[in-house]
Amino acid sequence: MPAGVRMLKSQGLKKAFFCEIFLLGRGFCAKPGIENEKICHSFLLRKSNIIALFAFNKVIKARKNTPYPFFYLPLQTNFKKRHKTSSSDMSSLLSVIIVNYKMDDLTSSFVKNELVKVAIPHKTVIVNNAATPESNAALCKSLNATLITDIEAETDAEKDVFVISSDENLGFARGNNLGAEFSRRAFDPYYILFTNNDIQIPDNNVVGKMLQKLHVTPEAGVIGPKVLGPDGVEQSPCCYHSCWEREVVKHWSAYFLSKRKQVERFHMDYAQKATEGFHYFVLGCFFIVRASDFYRCDMFDPNTFLYAEEKILAERMKTIDKKAYYLPSVNVIHAHGMTTGRYSKKRAILKWQNVSNLYYYRNYCHTTRSVIFMASLTNYLVRLKIGLGHIFSSPKTA
């Protein structure tokens, strides 16, 4: 008796057990191997037999010789039906997009040491911002990657890693859009994972569990895990703040509110208290979208360079009735600001944040001109203070 059948029987799952006996009688799964399991699962999907599907997934999970996670088979079957492709093309189920800016060693290390933990077959697309011939060559050599200089040119989709060379520093939104557009032209993925190169993936099930949840949650357009900083503090998900609250009151409150009052007033511990479910947005350092939803909502807004992309994507997803879903049962570790902290001064970062945030509030939240003006003035004074060396009194810390 096969191990899966013994397990089902021992668990008292009588209906599932008899369904499995039926399948064995029909000749399915009589031999070990992935192809028989694919055929069996396809048969069950056509018959819409939920109990039998449950039994089959139990059997697959019990088998140690299969390289696919047990939930991957329904995704795979649906993907094959949608794309009418063979099993050899299954690696285009997921596209992983990374934007690189002068961090070739970090990006190479991330692909070699962290992305190998992604058990789902995938393609890796690296957008090399402000690329040089030396940088392109180093990435391609280190990762055995294919260099792309024109995304409209014909590409060998059988390769696993691609480096897109961009002479211009496109920033986050346009860089990821370029990677997504290349992915659509080259291999048309079902899902897209957007990730920074400063992420640590603790185990092999992170992406798999996120895909499983996204697959069974049609209202979700974006899904993100628990994001921990190196200090263990949660960074995601995030709630909505008005422009007046976030860009004006929050800055000045440091001079008349204690730290505890600031946390309460501006929900600064929102991520620590968040539970699984829908939230305004999840952090952009590591999240997955359905490719069809991402293309349908017109991708990231190309008018931002850095910051506010996740909020804008949340608003764009609303136009197609999709929301952001937070899955805290899996987590990644994010070394926040590796690139911006290394190549940008604090004043410049604040300026980018302000420009992007005000663009978001002006165009997506329809904030009034007077509030936008006050937010701009506040940010200017904050940057002036940093530049002149703390000419104002220190904020309260008690």
Among 353, 369, 368, which residue's Cα sits nearest to residue 250?
353
What's the confidence (pLDDT) of residue 16?
44
C-alpha triplet 150, 151, 157: angle, nearest 5° = 120
pLDDT at 278 over 90: yes
225-272 residue pLDDT tens: 999 999 999 999 999 999 999 999 998 888 888 888 888 888 889 999
What's the confidence (pLDDT) of residue 92?
58
The H or E element that residue 94 is part of is strand 94-101
| Inter-axis angle of helices 50-62 and 14-25, nearest 10 | 80
What's the confidence (pLDDT) of residue 340?
52
Q: How far apart are CA 332 and CA 110, in angstroms?
A: 13
317-336 residue pLDDT tens: 999 999 999 999 999 999 86
The string of DSSP codes covering 133-197 is HHHHHHHHHHHTPEEES-TTS---TT-SEEEEE-SS--HHHHHHHHHHHHHHHHT--SEEEEE-S
| Chain mean pLDDT for the chain | 80
What's the confidence (pLDDT) of residue 273?
93
Domain ranges within the chain, ordered by starting residue: 3-66, 90-237+274-336
Rounded mean pLDDT, 104-114: 96
Structure tokens at 218: 């049609």
**Cβ count near 292 (within 10 Å):** 16
What's the confidence (pLDDT) of residue 72?
43
379-390 residue pLDDT tens: 888 888 877 764
Query: Given 3-state DSSP classes, what are the helix, strand and coil percentages for the chain, each rounded to the nearest 5?
Result: 50, 15, 35
83-92 residue pLDDT tens: 444 433 444 5
Q: How far apart are CA 312 and CA 281, in angstroms?
A: 9
Rounded mean pLDDT, 198-203: 94
122-131 residue pLDDT tens: 999 999 999 9
Among 240, 274, 267, 239, which residue's Cα sits nearest to residue 253?
267
What's the confidence (pLDDT) of residue 181?
97
Contact 348, 306 (CB under 8 A): no
Q: How far apart are CA 139 and CA 33, in angstroms?
A: 36
Kindly state which CATH superfamily the domain 90-237+274-336 is placed in: Spore Coat Polysaccharide Biosynthesis Protein SpsA; Chain A (3.90.550.10)
Rounded mean pLDDT, 196-205: 93
Higher per-residue pLDDT: 78 or 298: 298
Q: How far apart are CA 226 and CA 244, in angstroms?
A: 28
Lowest mean per-residue pLDDT among 54-63, 65-74, 225-234, 262-271: 65-74
